[in-house]
Structure 1
Amino acid sequence: MRRALLMLLLLALPMAGQTQIVDENGNTPSLAPLVEEVSPAVVNIATSGTVEAESNPLLNDPFFRRFFDAPEQPRQREVQSLGSGVVVNADQGYVLTNHHVIAQADEITVAFNDGRELSAEIVGSDPETDIAVLQIDAEELTALPMADSDSLRVGDYTMAIGNPFGLDHTVTTGVVSGLDRTLPGNNGARLQSFIQTDASINPGNSGGALINLRGELVGINTAILSRSGGNIGIGFAVPMNMARQVMDQIIEYGEVRRGILGVRVQDLTAEMAEAFDIDRNDGALISQVTPNSPAAEAGLQAGDIVIEVNGTSIPDANAMANAIGLLRIGDAVSMTYVRDGETQTTTATVADPQSGEVSADALHPGLAGATFSELDERSPLFGQVEGVLVTDVAQGSRAAEYLQPGDVITSVNREAVDSMAAFRAQVEGSERLLLNVRRNNGAFFVLIR
């Protein structure tokens, strides 16, 4: 074995006086043919838009501005963004990119390596996975075939193509450094199972192609881990299998219709496993089950440890969130779990989150325009507090004066509410309402008469 390895190394080294490594036909090894083949499918994306400008409250006061002769602040400011994208369907003109590349865009221009610049329309986007689908009207497009990203292994060669810092069609190479990575705070994406690569990814690469040596698309370049903002060899891409599932729903519905199961899970640590008296430390520990949810109807309870979903092993809470978060409304999900040391199996049906919503118009006139539901995994506060979730608020309504979608009502008239039934019992028949509202990391009271 050692002798064979030594011979391979000797054959790979140039002879004395040679400056190139060549094959038996005299050809120099190069990735140039592959780059030439795939580059027409990778595009530059330039966006422009307007956002609400942050303002100083003092400068909004007419007396203050007049006294100090200060100019009135602009209410909006223009924003621009540069990123990359990949043509994945030449016939329909579909282009994949990142949600954060086009999130604030009013106008989108897609530029090809042949010099063409075309306007693009947003088909839809999904902040949860940071994936967006654009569409362009053009002929003679080249699309990249999509690979099965589940077959990737650490050590596989990869190539990243994009437009870092606005430099068109830059190519970098490397290997898969890791799989199933999470990156806290990545542009708000909550479903994460990133491919980690050391192929250089820099600002402007977002939305570009990560390909294998067959010229197949294995991921959409999304983020980097860096203290300086530049590449240090730790880049991340959304796996193609995840991106494809999101893309299919966006093309079909214009959005991702994500269902709910009604559970909050956490990692099963070695200490937790010991406390639960089980001989394993992999799985997703259920910490909360929403009343009347699919999980509750399937018999799941807090303390159950999910170890398998639809035949796929669940090593941790993130894997559980990804497995459920990519299912469609109405899909059946088989789950294997451990309870009191015994392995059991159950089946639940992923529910439409809107099916359990209740309009507040009939509950109390002061809540007119708001819609409520059980607190579930749609809210980042799920598992941290008990209450009911504000899912929608009509613009210009009475409720819009003090409530926003995503708020959680934790008490009514100083009585805690942990379900829609408790909320209804406190609201109906009350002349006035004293609501305790959780919003993001803050809380406040609202008095409604």
Structure 2
Amino acid sequence: MGSPFALRNTITSGIVSSAQRGSQELGLSNSNMDYIQTDATIDVSGFSIYDGEVIGINTMKVTAGISFAIPSDRVKLFLNQAAKKKTSKVGDLSVKPRYIGVMMLTLTPSIIAELKMRDSSFPNVNHGILIHKVIPSSPASRAGMLPGDIVLEINGVMVNTSEEIYKAVRSSDTINMVVQRGNQLYKLQVTPEYIE
């Protein structure tokens, strides 16, 4: 239940297809995180409530009918750890983290099959990383990357998981990507930037 786009009293089914969708299965870098997969329609953000309690924070919408939420117990753990770090002394941070400004999802065979079932125009791929959000004015945006692009290669090597993109962002000053957009292949060059 909610009020998306200022429409009051909206109700969707919000069926939970999995309460423990592993991050490795989704190709995300945090290998010990389980996500809640739901078909609830979400816009920018939100949360799920059961019996008056928050059970998950919506974090990723892949397409209509496929969304993921972080379980609330993991959010509490993160907030507690962040509070502890804030009160402790800051050590020497010699390595700054870098970013390219995308949200992405590893395309497993089951996710590809589900996306093709929901959208017959989904590209005919058997691997890759789906870019489902590009942050405006980010390195990826400036390089011409668009939501819906599928990254097939990085620096001349075929990619199968989003962890490979994370590694390239950490270790490469320039990333040459081959992406599929619809039925076309494009070569993009992305330069990771340091997080301020």
Normalising by the smaller structure, the TM-score range is: 0.3 to 0.5
Identify the structure with bigger relative contact order (alpha carbons < 8 Å, sequence gap 6+).
2
TM-score under structure 1 normalisation? 0.22
Larger Rg: 1
